[in-house]
Amino acid sequence: MAKVTRKIGLSLGADICWPIAFTEIMKRLELAIPQGRNTVRFEVERMTIDPFDIREPRRYDLVIDRLTHWYHTRREWIKKAVILDDVYVFNNPWAVQSMEKLTTYAGMVRLGFPVPETWLVPPHSYDPMEDLQVTLQRYARHFDLGAIGKKLGYPMFMKPYDGGGWRAVSRLEDESALRESYDQSGKLVMTLQAAVHPFDRFVRCIGLGPQTHVVLYDAKAPLHDRYTMKADFLSPSERALIDGMTLVINAFFGWDFNSCELLHKRGTWHPIDFANPCPDSQVTSLHYHFPWLIKANLRWAVFAATTGRTVKELEWRRFFAAVEEGMTLEERLEALLPIVHERFDTERFGEFCSKHLAHLDEVTHEWFGTDDARDAVRKKVAALFPPHEVDEFTEIFFDRIQRWRADEPVGSAA
């Protein structure tokens, strides 16, 4: 058998902790996976930023990207590498580039998901541009903001159409707050969205390939306590619904790694923000849930790189054709999930993991008890917290990971 090495490139920005965990656990796995006539081994490398010749030889088999959504040099490298070299990348860079929050609402409205009522309003002001005045004079009509407010009802949310990281999000209680916020919104293009109010549960569902993990989220808690450690907050049918919606969203938009926010009100789970294709991956927010992310990421990366997975074209029409007027949400998911699982190759992935990654649980469990793991946590804490809090928060996050180790003894399902 010939030995081949699959090279995984990490396209990183401010990330500190997860690349350390990913790389160290990958080493400890000592993978040598038979694939056809070859034995596949893995190398993980952090990508550097350099000039590149578009005809350069293939440098990576798979790239896990954290930069495309804002760093255009890397985005262009990735797109050329997909086109020229069939590099597999999480996430599809074209989808990340073009699918803003409002576009994602539109896609899921068409599939019949209970997205709250959403409007877009033209911006309050503009940067000067050559044809701007003539365009606005001819076509921009006065509109009655108060009337849109009445339609949506209060409270409502105003947020940028391309949002992220709670930037410029406001909750508006009445018409005067709406008018004031709009007047202050400047050049931002804003959406207005009916609030899911009152809601009794807020979850974040992280999707990585066909794998999902749901966390009860407390948006009012301090940052380090927002991902709660609560269990048993969903019935099995709710869990299936949330997993299903998240997987449909991710398969529809071509995102391997995304986080979907849903709010529950009177029997309905409303997806409110699911354009997060560079989701929070830091131990300082995920803590207890961090090892899940590392394992899911490793499984999907190893599977995709071993099997030579390539970036798939999007297939909106197939999704649209699968649903019909009058279907319940459950029926819609039942009709859509076969497409999702085909796209994610879920069955083959499951078999692959049982066969080649059965030791991942044990290796991960062990590594997260080491001083190296504690040191990785500390590095991230030191980057975010003031010096006098570094010891305290390192212990808080590391302790939560130890709690995960106790709750999930080796051999239990991930």
Binding site for Mg ion (CB under 5 A): 273
Least distance to ligand ADP, CB of residue 158, Å: 9
Length in residues, the chain: 414
Interface with ligand ADP (CB under 6 A), residue from 263, 302, 340, 353: 263
Out of 105, 113, 157, 257, the only residue in the binding site for ligand ADP (CB under 6 A) is 157
- Closer of 159 and 332 to ligand ADP (Cβ): 159
Which range binds ligand ADP by CB under 6 A, 45-53, 77-85, 155-163, 316-324?
Answer: 155-163
Q: Does 274 help bind ligand ADP (rule: CB under 6 A)?
A: no
- Give the burial class of 276: count Cβ atoms within 10 A of its Cβ; 0-12 exposed, 13-18 middle, 19 or more buried: buried
Looking up tokens 């401010």 gives: 14
Annotate 291-328 with DSSP letters as a single string. Answer: HHHHHHHHHHHHHHHHHT--PPPP-HHHHHHH--TT--
Across 136-187, where does the E strand assignment appear? 156-160, 170-172
Query: Whole-angstrom Cα distance, residue 329 to residue 111?
Result: 9
Q: Does residue 64 contact residue 10 with C-beta atoms inside 8 Å? A: yes
What is the distance between the alpha carbons of residues 344 and 306, in angstroms, rounded to a whole number?
Answer: 15
CA distances (Å), 189 to each of 69, 85, 324, in order? 18, 37, 32
Please, which residues bridge with residue 215 across strands? 204
Place of tokens 């989220």: 217
Q: Does 164 bind ligand ADP (CB under 6 A)?
A: yes
**Closest CB 261 distance from Mg ion, rounded Å:** 5
Closer of 165 and 222 to ligand ADP (Cβ): 165
CA distance 40 to 35: 7
Query: Binding to ligand ADP by residue 181, rule CB under 6 A?
Result: no
Q: Which helix (H) or strand (E) holds 396?
A: helix 390-407
Number of residues that bind ligand ADP (CB under 6 A): 17
Q: Which of residues 189-208 bind ligand ADP (CB under 6 A)?
A: 193, 195-196
What is the per-residue binding string for ligand ADP in 212-241, x denoting contact by CB under 6 A?
-------x----------------------
Cβ-closest position to ligand ADP: 273
Q: Interacting stretch for ligand ADP, rule CB under 6 A, among 146-154, 164-172, 365-373, 391-399? A: 164-172
- Contact pick of 85, 238, 261, 366 for ligand ADP (by CB under 6 A): 261
Please identify which residue in 273, 303, 311, 376 interacts with ligand ADP, judged by CB under 6 A.
273
Given 93, 116, 207, 244, the residue binding ligand ADP (CB under 6 A): 116
Residue 376 near residue 283 (C-beta atoms within 8 A) = yes
Helices (H), 90-174: 93-98, 101-110, 132-139, 145-152
Which listed option, Mg ion, ligand ADP, none, makes contact with residue 167 (CB within 5 to 8 Å by class)? ligand ADP
Is residue 262 a contact residue for ligand ADP (CB under 6 A)?
no
Tell me the two tokens of residue 71: 């760093």
- Smallest separation (angstroms) from Mg ion to the CB of 43: 35
Residue 355 interacts with which of ligand ADP, Mg ion, none, CB < 5 to 8 Å by class: none
From 19, 29, 17, select the one nearest 365 (Cα to Cα).
29
Closest CB to ligand ADP among 58 and 150?
150
Least distance from ligand ADP to the Cβ atom of residue 222, Å? 15
Positive or negative CA dihedral for 32, 371, 221, 181? negative
Residue whose tokens read 């560079």: 278
Smallest distance, ligand ADP to C-beta of residue 59, A: 32
Residue 348 sits in the site that holds ligand ADP (CB under 6 A): no
Q: Which residues bind ligand ADP (CB under 6 A)?
A: 116, 157, 159, 163-167, 169, 193, 195-196, 219, 261, 263, 272-273
